[in-house]
């Protein structure tokens, strides 16, 4: 195992973002006052029945001591039909509990492309499902009873369309579920849609409560990412014009309002630029929303950014902009986001201190109402093409980061998930990552456990449950045909995918458009 760290200090980095050193645990530390949390790498988790090219880690979610990880190209049932794996934390160690597959699994369904979990309920997106129409998509609800998970219901779009990609993103809080369909023609070609489902009093059936749609008929890809809290839903639309003549991206916030779900506000970047893909990922925690803009060019071309919005009296304030401390061209910071209270996590899967596509993730901590850079997280054994940071989820003291391109004993691109735990610290830090004195727990030892939309992204509800609102989306591109999800990740902003292989994708060059494996999120 080798440590991948760097010491970077760029002129554009905001005050207090100086990286003074890095620890052997795979995290880089700031040289300023130590925040309440110090992050150390824990378990590296792999699918017990993993397969070659399974891409385990494309999506992640966590709630307390239960986590779920998607592997949309798993071959266990049919070629690249996909799977999801449940893990539980016991005595600080994550152990496999059960592998989930669709009861009607078919080849290239991409089951596991997005995942979410809330208590004893999990939801898994399969945006390439063909039951209603080719690539119309589906989402599957599973419930845990007596320690065993069983499929409860298959959710499908009430407006099924060819390549509608229902299941691109998923989120769940209690008995409310939210599913994105980013390529449906709800109010126009590729405008997208999202659907609220609620479970009935019997606990046995889920029914449609509300259809959410974008403001106009532009190809906004509304539903590319979703997030839920107890009182609000957030839907990302990374190709939305947001009142501008070019696509810049937006995020729509809907108020629960006793099930009516009226539009509360459309969020946009105050410095929006063309093809910023604002809304490619979204997360929410109470009155704070985090939105990724992986195409932002402020600090570097496609270096990416994330924006924090705070709500007061149902009005969302002007955002605080977060950018990576290690400025990297084409890093795509913001492709995955998650937030838990005062801790925000942002993935930058194409970045890497020494190699391209190794990936990293950044922890930000809020103090006095302002988020400041706290740690840069790296895989201790990360290498080119691991895509560490393509999916992220954070709880108060637990972080999960997907690396679906990791090659391990399960095979090439079998994938893995890295866990990080927080040590509660006090004092001040020294140069070179020397931490201050203090006590605390790691990954459930002396500390509380975790949380849990995908993909292409994580969110946290008011009740402390984090869901990935769809995994962080990949970038497909290049003029040559790409075989599989991972092969399509390398050239963000280059292609719309057509056809299906593995989890669904062959790519053709088409500049200026984000695209993910299964549902072409951006």
SS3 of 373, please?
Answer: strand
Beta bridge partners of 30: 19
What's the token pair of residue 66?
Answer: 């239960």
Does some domain include residue 2?
no
Does some domain include residue 224?
yes
Q: How far apart are CA 237 and CA 222, in angstroms?
A: 4
Class of residue 258 by CB neighbours under 10 A (exposed 0-12, middle 13-18, buried 19+): exposed
Residue 424 confidence (pLDDT): 58
Quick check: 79 and 85 in contact, CB under 8 A? no
Does some domain include residue 296?
yes
Residue 460 confidence (pLDDT): 33
SS3 of 241, please?
Answer: coil
Q: How far apart are CA 161 and CA 228, in angstroms?
A: 25
Does some domain include residue 95?
yes
SS3 of 380, please?
Answer: coil
Q: How far apart are CA 210 and CA 160, in angstroms?
A: 15
pTM: predicted TM-score of the whole model, two decimal places: 0.79
Does some domain include residue 519?
no
- Under 8 Å CB-to-CB from 226, ≥6 apart: which residues? 169, 170, 171, 178, 179, 180, 194, 233, 234, 235, 236, 282, 453, 459, 469, 470
Class of residue 255 by CB neighbours under 10 A (exposed 0-12, middle 13-18, buried 19+): middle
Residue 355 confidence (pLDDT): 56
Of 305, 352, 307, 308, nearest in space to 328 by CA:
352
What's the token pair of residue 507?
Answer: 């790519």
Residue 412 confidence (pLDDT): 94
Quick check: 299 and 341 in contact, CB under 8 A? no
- Residue-number span of the structural domain to which 391 is assigned: 19-509
Q: Quote the number of domains for the chain.
A: 1
Q: How far apart are CA 37 and CA 209, in angstroms?
A: 40
Quick check: 490 and 515 in contact, CB under 8 A? no
Q: How far apart are CA 242 and CA 244, in angstroms?
A: 6
Does some domain include residue 141?
yes
**pLDDT, block means (10 residues), the chain with 522 residues:** 24 21 36 54 93 96 96 95 97 96 97 98 98 96 97 97 97 98 96 98 96 96 98 98 94 95 96 95 97 94 95 91 89 96 95 78 95 93 94 92 95 96 54 27 27 36 34 31 35 26 27 33 56
Residue 37 confidence (pLDDT): 58
What's the token pair of residue 516?
Answer: 């993910």
Does some domain include residue 30?
yes
SS3 of 258, please?
Answer: helix
Q: How far apart are CA 221 and CA 515, in angstroms?
A: 10
Q: Where are the beta strands (DSSP E) in 46-79?
A: 59-63, 66-71
Hey, how many other C-beta atoms are within 10 angstroms of the C-beta on 146?
5
Residue 519 confidence (pLDDT): 36
What's the token pair of residue 315?
Answer: 């009005």
SS3 of 86, please?
Answer: strand
Give the CATH number of the domain where residue 311 resides: 2.130.10.130
Does some domain include residue 1?
no
């Amino acid at each position: 195992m080798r440590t991948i760290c760097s010491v970077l200090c760029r002129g554009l980095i905001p005050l207090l973002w100086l990286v003074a050193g890095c620890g052997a645990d795979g995290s880089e530390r700031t040289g300023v006052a130590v925040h309440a949390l110090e992050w150390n790498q824990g378990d590296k988790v792999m699918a017990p029945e993993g397969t070659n090219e399974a891409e385990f880690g494309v999506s992640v979610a966590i709630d307390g001591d239960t986590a779920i990880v998607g592997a949309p190209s798993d071959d266990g049932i049919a070629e690249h039909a996909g799977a999801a794996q449940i893990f539980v934390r016991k005595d600080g160690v994550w152990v496999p509990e059960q592998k989930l597959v669709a009861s009607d699994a078919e080849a290239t369904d991409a089951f596991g492309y997005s995942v979410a979990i809330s208590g004893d309920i999990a939801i898994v997106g399969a945006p390439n499902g063909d039951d209603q129409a080719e690539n119309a998509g589906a989402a599957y609800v599973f419930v845990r009873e007596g320690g065993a998970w069983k499929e409860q219901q298959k959710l499908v779009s009430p407006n099924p369309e060819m390549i509608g990609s229902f299941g691109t993103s998923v989120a769940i809080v209690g008995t409310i579920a939210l599913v994105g369909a980013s390529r449906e023609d709800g109010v126009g070609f590729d405008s997208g849609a999202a659907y609220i489902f609620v479970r009935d009093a019997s606990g046995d059936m889920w029914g449609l409560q509300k259809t959410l749609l974008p403001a106009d008929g532009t190809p906004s890809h509304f539903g590319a990412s979703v997030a839920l809290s107890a009182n609000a839903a957030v839907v990302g639309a990374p190709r939305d014009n947001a009142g501008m003549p070019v696509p810049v991206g937006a995020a729509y916030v809907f108020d629960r309002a006793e099930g009516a779900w009226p539009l509360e506000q459309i969020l946009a970047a105050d410095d929006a630029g063309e093809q910023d893909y604002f809304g490619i990922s979204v997360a929410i925690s109470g009155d704070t929303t985090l939105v990724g803009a992986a195409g932002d060019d402020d600090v570097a071309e496609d270096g990416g950014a994330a924006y924090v919005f705070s709500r007061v009296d149902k009005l969302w304030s002007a955002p605080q902009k977060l950018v990576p401390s290690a400025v990297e061209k084409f890093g795509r910071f913001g492709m995955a986001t998650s937030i838990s209270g005062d801790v925000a996590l942002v993935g930058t899967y194409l970045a890497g201190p020494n190699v391209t596509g190794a990936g990293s993730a950044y922890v930000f901590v809020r103090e006095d109402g302002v988020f400041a850079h706290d740690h840069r997280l790296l895989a201790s054994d990360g290498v080119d093409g691991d895509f560490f940071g393509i999916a992220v989820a954070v709880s108060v003291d637990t972080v999960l980061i997907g690396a679906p391109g990791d090659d391990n004993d399960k095979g090439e691109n079998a994938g893995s998930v890295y866990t990080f735990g927080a040590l509660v610290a006090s004092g001040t830090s020294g140069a070179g990552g020397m931490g201050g004195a203090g006590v605390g727990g790691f990954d459930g030892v002396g500390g509380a456990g975790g949380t849990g939309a995908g993909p292409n992204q994580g969110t946290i509800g008011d009740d402390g449950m984090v869901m990935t609102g769809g995994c962080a989306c990949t970038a497909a591109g290049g003029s040559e045909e790409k075989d599989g999800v991972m092969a399509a990740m390398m050239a963000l902003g280059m292609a719309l995918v057509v056809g299906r292989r593995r989890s669904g994708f062959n790519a053709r060059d088409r500049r200026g458009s984000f695209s993910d494996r299964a549902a072409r999120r951006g």
